[in-house]
Amino acid sequence: MVTKIAVLVSGGGTNLQAILDAEKSGIITSGKVSLVVSNKEGAYALERAKNHSVETLVLSKAEYPTNADFEKKLIEELERREIGLIVLAGFMKILSADFTSRYPERIINVHPALIPSFCGEGFYGLKVHEAALSYGVKVTGATVHFVNEIPDGGRIIAQKAVYIEDGDTPEILQKRVMEEAEWKILPLAVEKVSKEIAEK
């Protein structure tokens, strides 16, 4: 039994690409990306999905103005396709407690820092790396965790450290954290959780 996966995206989809590549290379065998959902029209992640013949869906703010409308439609689409695992990959929208409690330990997210550092509300994208650099930490990294009602508050699945180097800018650090940590631990976590769900 293979776990059907939905990946939720908002932008370029580099983490989605890492998952699709891991599926192709045999790192992920217990799960299959069946759907890519974007809350933004024209997100490049949708192109990546199409290039791998994965079904895409756009639930834009214009069509679903409130969070409740958005989540109601999302739940309908996920259930219709019997999705077992939801992966947040650069998804710039906070999901409500009603939504997350419906899928306990079935939603995972990758965060570009070593939780509990530089996480929670307001810490996303470059802001995380700016905070790490301004604080002066010597080691940062990425964390894959389950999603619950608290932003970045769910149980940790995997972490990988990345050293901060002299002369790092937030952009340079973001790229290194992606390449050395996010793109490595996210596919492994997807496989681990997909396998656990498939065996239930």
Length of the chain as a residue count? 200
What is the span of the domain harbouring residue 177? Answer: 3-198
Q: Please identify every residue annotated as catalytic.
A: 111
CATH code: domain of residue 50: 3.40.50.170
pLDDT at position 17, please? 98
DSSP state of 10: S
pLDDT at position 42, please? 93
| Residue 160: C-alpha distances to residues 5, 25, 95, 112 (Å) | 23, 21, 25, 10
Sheet of strand 85-88, all strands in order from the earlier edge strand to the far edge:
55-58, 31-38, 3-9, 85-88, 107-111, 139-146, 156-163
pLDDT in tens, the chain (200 residues): 999 999 999 999 999 999 999 999 999 999 999 999 999 999 999 999 999 999 999 999 889 999 999 999 999 999 999 999 999 999 988 899 999 999 999 999 999 999 999 999 899 999 999 999 999 999 999 999 999 999 999 999 999 999 999 999 999 999 999 999 999 999 999 999 999 999 98
Return d(Cα 75, Cα 167) in angstroms, integer: 45
Element (H, E) at 116: none
Taking the CA atoms of residue 113, residue 118, residue 122 and residue 124 in that order, the dihedral angle to the nearest 10 degrees is -20
Count how many domains the chain has.
1
pLDDT at position 76, please? 98
Which phi and psi angles does 190 have, rounded to 5°?
-60, -45
pLDDT at position 61, please? 87
